[in-house]
Amino acid sequence: MTSSGTYNFNPSLGEITLFAFNLAGVRNTAIAQEHMESARMATNLMLSRWANMGVNLWEVKLATIPLTTGVSTYAAAPIDNVTASSGNGTTATLTYSSSNSYPAGTNITVAGMTPTGYNGTFTVTASTSTTVSYANTTTGSMTVSGTITGNSSTTVMVLDSYVTTVNGGSNIDRIILPISRTEYASYPNKTQQGFPTVYWFDRLISPTVTIWPTPNTTTGPSTLSFYYVTQVQDANFTGGQTVEIPYRWLDAFANGLAYRLARIWNPPLVQMLKPEADEAYAIAAQQDTEYVSMYVSPMVSGYWRN
């Protein structure tokens, strides 16, 4: 038996959409522009629902934020200090050093830099683990460093958070726990400074993370890090774009899209396609987990009886 020897199957959104229409009983020759308009809307609404239904592991990223003494609330997005820059009159490239990620197609805000032409809000055109590029007419390199801030409006939820303290040249990480709005509101002294132990994730259109006690970086932590789930990139039909999903979710995507398209273009098939879509999603979601041991232990503390 001769196999392909390749692992490149990643159909474009257009190819998946044609297949989904076929599942919905619509032949390729019958598809018009209005069909594709409804498919684009159905695709992005389905990705929105998936974000609400669970943690999409392929969209989990790590953000690191420098802490400031007396400041408790930060945008729920990565922030980096720029270490170097270059501009050739067409593209600006900034270099930073952290574990943060600014994928192509996302928005960033650059501030505090000289030349000031580097500053503003831009769409990332290319990125690596330590650089980010965007269209810009500025030339030369920086004389005053600035910061890169990611787009917090794409943050869906925060999973785990910890603060880092530099101790004798070593980084010491300590996890902090989530609290609710009500619990944060109950704290009598919200400006109290100390080592943060909890955080409140405020799910606004541009979400924020508030930590307590308020940090004092002269004697305590220097950075806040948290794993967060980000929004799946928009699904578009231009230029043969693919969908930002892994291989194991392709079947769930096609079946889910077929069900949604049938609701518009072939209602008699809806009852048949709905179970197929649900089953495909359940199989993909079952595999989209971390296979690790789980330990449950009580929070045991001292007990006294008067």
Quick check: 299 pLDDT over 70? no
What pLDDT, on the 0 to 100 scale, is given for residue 93? 96
Least confident of 41-55, 128-142, 215-229: 215-229
- Residues β-bridged to residue 288: none
- Comparing 300 with 28, the larger pLDDT belongs to 28
The dihedral over CA atoms of 228, 233, 234, 235, expressed in degrees to the nearest 10, equals -130
What pLDDT, on the 0 to 100 scale, is given for residue 149? 92
The model's confidence at residue 171, banded by pLDDT at 50, 70 and 90, is confident
Q: What is the mean pLDDT of the chain?
A: 91
Quick check: 304 pLDDT over 90? no
* Residue 240 zone, left/alpha/beta (φ > 0; ψ -120 to 50; rest): left
- Residues β-bridged to residue 148: 80, 110
What pLDDT, on the 0 to 100 scale, is given for residue 100? 81
What pLDDT, on the 0 to 100 scale, is given for residue 142? 93
The answer to whether the Cα torsion of 147, 153, 227, 132 is positive or negative is negative
Omega of the bond prior to 213 within 30 degrees of 0, cis? yes
What pLDDT, on the 0 to 100 scale, is given for residue 305? 55
Quick check: 274 pLDDT over 90? yes
Residue 279 neighbours by CB distance under 10 Å: 13
The answer to whether the Cα torsion of 229, 234, 239, 244 is positive or negative is positive
Query: What value does the mean pLDDT take over residues 160-188?
Result: 91
**Max alpha carbon distance in the chain (Å)?**
82
Query: What value does the mean pLDDT take over residues 285-301?
Result: 80
The model's confidence at residue 160, banded by pLDDT at 50, 70 and 90, is very high
Least confident of 6-10, 123-127, 292-296: 292-296
pLDDT tens-digit profile of 39-98? 999 999 999 999 999 889 999 989 988 899 999 999 999 898 999 999 999 999 999 987
Query: What is the pTM for the complete model shown?
Result: 0.84
Tokens matching residue 96:
């930073």
**Residues written for the chain:** 306
Quick check: 140 pLDDT over 80? yes
The model's confidence at residue 143, banded by pLDDT at 50, 70 and 90, is very high
